[in-house]
Amino acid sequence: MDLQTLTYLFVGASFSLYLGIAFWARAGSTSDFYVAGGGVHPITNGMATAADWMSAASFISMAGLIANMGYGGGLFLMGWTGGYVMLAMLLAPYLRKFGKFTVPQFIGDRFYSKTASTVAVACLLTASITYIIGQMTGVGVAFSRFLGVSNDTGIYIGMAIVFMYAVFGGMKGITYTQVAQYIVLILAYTVPAIFISLQLTGNPIPQLGLGSSIAGTDVSLLSKLNLVVTDLGFSEYTTSLPGSTLNMFVYTVSLMIGTAGLPHVIVRFFTVPTVKDARSSAGWALVFIAILYTTAPAVAAMAKMNLHATVNTAVGLEPDAQGRLVVNQEVLKSNADFYAPEASLVYEERPDWMKRWEKTGLLKFEDKNGDGRIQYYNDATKNADVKAKADAAGWKGNELTVNADIIVLANPEIALLPNWVIALVAAGGLAAALSTAAGLLLAISSAVSHDLIKTVINPNITDKGELMAGKISMAGAIVLAGYLGLNPPGFAAGTVALAFGIAGSSLFPPILMGIFSKKMNKEGAIAGMLAGLSITLFYVFAHKGIFFVKGTEFTDLIGGPNSFFGITPEAFGAIGAMVNFIVAFLVDKVTKEPPVHIQALVESVRVPRGAKAVDGAH
Amino acid sequence: MDNNSAAYWKATLALLTKILIVWFLVSFGAGILFAPMLNNIHLGGYPLGFWFAHQGSMYVFIACIFYYAKRMGEIDRQFDVHED
């Protein structure tokens, strides 16, 4: 069966499965709609949280970024998993005990103020919508490549499908749908990785393969990769930093607190039956996430190796009779010269996958020195030795540009894996993007229908009216996200990292203080949220444009890009959170302390036993 | 706050502090600040600092959460505040 038919088959079958589950589990009451009636097992919940969590950025974009960034890419790995430790210990059990459905509800009740809850709604909407733009872009890229439609059409199809199961199924539909999506996406990620690890190192477990020697030799994979990339002018793979150690540090902090502060993840812990389950649920979520996250660095390094080997035969991997890359021990061990004229791949002999990706514009070749061969190296290197060698070989600049986002999707094609694996990856990428989009939409709709309409605008709204308002706001959010997805501020991972900064700087501090500081009052919390959110948005908009509209950047105003100690906008959330904490404490000091019943409420939230601290019925 | 819940909260905070120290040491410590030094040591083909950033810290995180869940359960029972 050909690739196109197989892809339609895999994507079609997985979608019918998701829709079938959503239909089977359609929501009845409002409680069912938001939190699946509070009766989800920790392992089931962990798996669904994992699918919810792992978005197009994790699935499609992350390994490519790691391949580009090398060691520094570890900030995504540590940041996006380390946040779960904070979530599990500092937030989840207490929010579960509190017994409310949404994050703004918690903030509104704990800080005894509708203003606080409304500000939290604003923070939540900003973070979620920023996040969802990246998802819709991811859906578009995946659909356009695999279904052979344009990027715009891909986004429209994605909007329609997300709308159907998010709106008709509600949370319960989403929980069980996401279990199915997790299984599809994890198979799609690990199966090709196992194949590639086996080809390259002879070890079927990618996590071990990455630390092994190349098959049939005693040359370690990472040291060979270091040698290849440094010899071609790139920075050493196992040590290269993103800017500076300081930037890596605060970037990691931002992603961690963003993970703990993202509303669509927190809301997951309202859906387990007990406080005890909330604690272990985060652990299970992390187990399921780590299966992908520990595989990603192996995918990154091996794909980078395969890519270099494809365009430069001196690396020591060469296509066999079927075109599959296999290790040539002689060449590999001899450290042949990458600058030898015949080492570079002849453009006309390039493999089929390059031709396919050239059509998408994400992979480009420009024959600068007119020799008909592809020279792939870092022409901006400061290494004089590399420059001299390139000049001597008559190289006139790098001739191949590869978009980082294609690494995972193209990986099975580069390694020439069977067509069904490639089709599976298509289904997995779509599952990742759609599941996260659906979870985010739910957080958006509950914030609007419950925290804004029911709490502030019209407290007398019926259950039915509230459910309808939720569905309408979901539809509105899908249209907005789709529109922004057609005109994105950048690709998935970059946009998504910004969303983490926004959530971490605005929502994480008030939730944490709400639990751990009995004396924190509403004035402090509100001022903190506003300060954290505005300073983060200011720095981000300075780099990325006001509301991500291109052409409205104002980096000159803040003294050039990354002017704050070399910190990038993606990493700025940590600074925003610091400002949030400081402002909150200062304002708290000069205003009066919270009423006695609120202090008693905080105490009751801290112990697991007893009825829900606040009646969850509504 | 009565004595029992004050003692319970104190025990909880002590546990959190202990785990957060481990959490910090593996990621920000071994994975970032001390990574250049640790890279002189090898774990198979992995330089150790690189391994912590790309693999090791995640395994420790999982262990942290399950250890926390288990110890909290014990503390709950010790202070008789566990759910039935």
Q: How far, CA to CA in Å, does A128 sit from each of A133, A486, B80?
A: 9, 17, 40
Q: Would an 8 Å CB–CB cutoff place B3 in contact with chain A?
A: no
**Confidence band (pLDDT; 50, 70, 90) for A573?**
very high
Section A498-522 average pLDDT:
93
Tell me: do A384 and A517 sit in the same domain: no
Q: So where are chain B's domains?
A: 3-78
What pLDDT was estimated at residue B52? 95
Band of the pLDDT at B1, cuts 50, 70, 90? low
A20-34, A345-359, A428-442: the lowest-pLDDT one: A20-34
Within a domain: A94: no
Q: For position A90, what pLDDT does the model report? A: 93
Asked if A71 and B73 come within 8 Å (Cβ–Cβ), the reply is: no
Shortest Cα–Cα distance, A344 to chain B (Å): 28
Q: Taking Cα atoms as reference points, which of A259, A93, A84, A62 lies closest to residue B61?
A: A84
Instruction: For residue A87, give the nearest of A264, A297, A291, A293 by alpha carbon.
Output: A264
Note whether A346 and A439 are same-domain residues. Answer: no
**Cβ A238–B47 below 8 Å, yes or no?**
yes
Digit-coded pLDDT (tens) for B35-67: 999 999 998 889 999 999 999 999 999 999 999
Clarify whether residues A448 and A401 are in a common domain. Answer: no
DSSP string of B12-73, one letter each residue:
HHHHHHHHHHHHHIIIIIIIIISHHHHTTSEETTEEHHHHIIIIIHHHHHHHHHHHHHHHHH
- What is the model's pLDDT at position B84? 66
The answer to whether position A91 is within a domain reads no
Q: Is residue A61 domain-resident?
A: no
Test A82 with B27 for CB contact under 8 angstroms.
Answer: yes
Residue carrying the six token digits 């088959």: A9
Lowest-pLDDT range of A237-251, A255-269, A512-526: A255-269
A259 lies in the same domain as A391: no
In a domain, A554, yes or no: yes
Residue carrying the six token digits 């960034």? A69
CB pair distance less than 8 Å for B45 and A607: no
Give the residue numbers spanning the domain of A490.
3-41+104-303+415-606
Residues A452 and A555 in one domain: yes
Collect all residues with Cβ–Cβ distance below 8 Å to A141 and sequence separation of at least 6.
Answer: A56, A60, A151, A154, A405, A409, A491, A492
Distance between CA atoms of residues A550 and A308, nearest Å: 34
Which among A379, A394, A414 is the end of a domain? Answer: A414
* Greatest mean pLDDT range, A130-139, A248-257, A565-574: A248-257
Q: Find the CATH number of the domain harbouring A7.
A: 1.20.1730.10
For residue A613, give how far its alpha carbon lies from the nearest alpha carbon of chain B (Å): 14
Report the alpha-carbon distance of residue A269 to residue A252 in Å, rounded.
23
Residue A26 pLDDT greater than 70, yes or no: no
Task: Tell the residue number behind the tokens 């985060």, with chain if given.
Answer: A282
Contact with chain A for residue B24, Cβ under 8 A: no
Quote the DSSP letter at residue A273.
Answer: S
Q: How far is it, in rounded angstroms, from Cα A202 to Cα A270? A: 44
User: Beta-strand (E) ranges in A22-160?
Assistant: none
Q: Which of B5, B43, B76 sits opposite A603 (nearest CB)?
A: B5
Domain total of chain A: 2
**What average pLDDT does this structure show over A58-77?**
89
Residue of chain A nearest B44, judged by CA positions? A211
Nearest CA distance, A241 vs chain B (angstrom): 10
What span, in angstroms and rounded, lies between the C-alpha atoms of A528 and A547? Answer: 22
For residue A294, give the 3-state DSSP assignment: helix
Q: Give the chain A residue nearest B22 (alpha carbons).
A: A85
pLDDT at B20 over 80: yes
Residues A497 and A602 placed together within one structural domain of the fold: yes
Looking at residue A613, its pLDDT comes to 44
Mean pLDDT of A251-259: 94
Tell me which DSSP letter residue A236 carries: P
Judgement on whether residues A247 and A370 belong to the same structural domain of the protein:
no
Q: Which has the minimum average pLDDT: A44-58, A61-75, B5-19?
A: A44-58
A545 close to A552: Cβ distance less than 8 angstroms = yes
Query: Between A and B, how many CB-CB pairs are < 8 A?
Result: 137
Residue with tokens 């409680």: A31
Asked, for residue A618, whether it belongs to a domain, the answer is no
Average pLDDT score over residue span A69-97? 91
- Convert the pLDDT of each residue in A1-16 to its tens digit: 787 788 888 888 888 8
Domain closes at, from A388, A414, A440: A414
pLDDT band at A349 (very low <50, low <70, confident <90, very high): confident
Asked if the Cβ–Cβ distance from B69 to A222 is below 8 Å, we say no
- One-character DSSP codes across A406-463: GHHHHHHHHTT--HHHHHHHHHHHHHHHHHHHHHHHHHHHHIIIIIIIIIII-TT--H
A527 pLDDT band (50/70/90 cuts)?
very high
d(CA A375, CA A388): 15
Contacts of B8 in chain A (CB under 8 A): 606-607
Identify which of A92-106, A331-345, A369-383, A448-462 has the greatest average pLDDT. A369-383
Contacts of A220 in chain B (CB under 8 A): 44-45
DSSP A70-109: GGGGHHHHHHHHHHHHHIIIIIHHHHHHHT-SSHHHHHHH
| CA-closest candidate to residue A438, choices A27, A128, A186, A150 | A128
Residues A424 and A383 reside in one and the same domain: no
Does the pLDDT value for residue A387 go beyond 50? Answer: yes
- Give me the pLDDT at residue A469, please: 83
Inside any domain, residue A510: yes
User: Same structural domain for residues A257 and A359?
Assistant: no
- Distance CA(A207)–CA(A194), nearest Å, equals 10
Same-domain check for residues A280 and A394: no
**Range from A174-178, A403-407, A419-423, A430-434 that averages highest in pLDDT:** A419-423
Same domain, A367 and A427: no
For the segment A352-373, what is each residue's pLDDT rounded down to a tens digit? 888 877 877 778 898 988 888 9
Tell me: the pLDDT tens digits for A531-547?
A: 999 999 999 888 877 77
- pLDDT tens for each residue of A119-147: 999 998 888 888 887 777 777 777 777 77
Q: Is the reported ipTM for this assembly greater than 0.90?
A: yes
The confidence score (pLDDT) of residue A618 equals 35
Residue A222 lies in a domain: yes
Compute CA A366 distance to the chain's CA centroid, rounded to the nearest angstrom: 32
- Mean pLDDT lowest among A171-175, A183-187, A495-499, A555-559: A171-175
Within a domain: A72: no
Same domain, A265 and A117: yes
